[in-house]
A = this chain, B = another copy of it.
Amino acid sequence: MTLKTPIVAVNFKAYYPYSFGENALKIAQDARKVWEETGVQIILAPPYTELKSVLEVVKDTEILVFAQHADPVEPGARTGYIPLEGLKEAGVQGVILNHSEHRLKIADINWLVKKAKKLGLYTLVCADVPETGAAVSILGPDIVAVEPPELIGTGVSVSKAKPEVITNSVELIRKVNKDVIILTGAGISTGEDVYKAIELGTAGVLVASAIVKAKDPYTIIKDMAENAKKAMK
């Protein structure tokens, strides 16, 4: 599957009970409905334990399923770790790397990006500020998301509170990598935030609590997808 833009990427994180079981399936079903209605590229990143059930829900759509993290290990005697081969086997199309809640060493990010490419897995690498966004972009990931940690989970969107983080990111990243897809993250809560993020030069958003903990995920995903489409025109 190819990556299309704009992108609405949903990080399920590990909220309880929201990110697990029936709740996780509900989010996936809602995402599926929105995709059927809008065709917007959606990425879903549920916990490891929910990957296969979510994959089942979005079968035969263009929705992509990513793991939230990958351990920098080769397959083998690694109790409790999941190497990229194991994620590939589970059926995912990509992985999030270096999320602010699960940072990686730079050498490991590079190793994982290169290996994922070989295995045919997409990589979405997070960074905290424009400079580190540019730094990881040199390593050749498919997607990069710059998320100021102080806004993550606040409901105060980076596109409103710190638009310069987005424009600086785009500027610094484009100097070193013409192709990487740039996403906006941290505090994204509404369709308007998504519109703004794209207007400022990125290709979509990385969202978590606003969708995952919503009473009605469908409405939010739909609003974001529609705004993404509108903004890309």
Contact = CB atoms under 8 A, between A and B. Distances in A.
A79 B13 contact: yes
Contacts of A136: 106, 135
A76 to B, nearest CB: 6
Interface residues of A, number: 66
A83 interface: yes
Nearest to A16: B75
Contacts of A14: 73, 75-79, 81-83, 86
Interface stretch (A49-57, A159-167, A191-199, A222-230): A49-57
Contact of A131 (B49, B110, B131): B110
A146 to B, nearest CB: 11
Contacts of A26: none
Contact of A78 (B13, B76, B176): B13
A129 B152 CA distance: 32
Nearest to A53: B52
Contacts of A138: 131, 134-135, 138, 172, 176
Nearest to A102: B80
Contact of A52 (B52, B96, B100): B52
A103 B109 CA distance: 12
Contact of A20 (B73, B90, B140): B90
A217 interface: no
Given A14-B76, A75-B15, A96-B79, A127 B106 contact: yes
A60 interface: no
Interface of A: 11, 13-17, 19-21, 47-53, 67-69, 73, 75-83, 85-87, 89-90, 96, 98-110, 127-129, 131-132, 134-136, 138-140, 152-153, 172, 175-176, 208-209
12 contacts: A13-B78, A14-B75, A16-B75, A16-B83, A16-B86, A49-B90, A78-B102, A79-B99, A79-B100, A106-B132, A110-B131, A135-B139
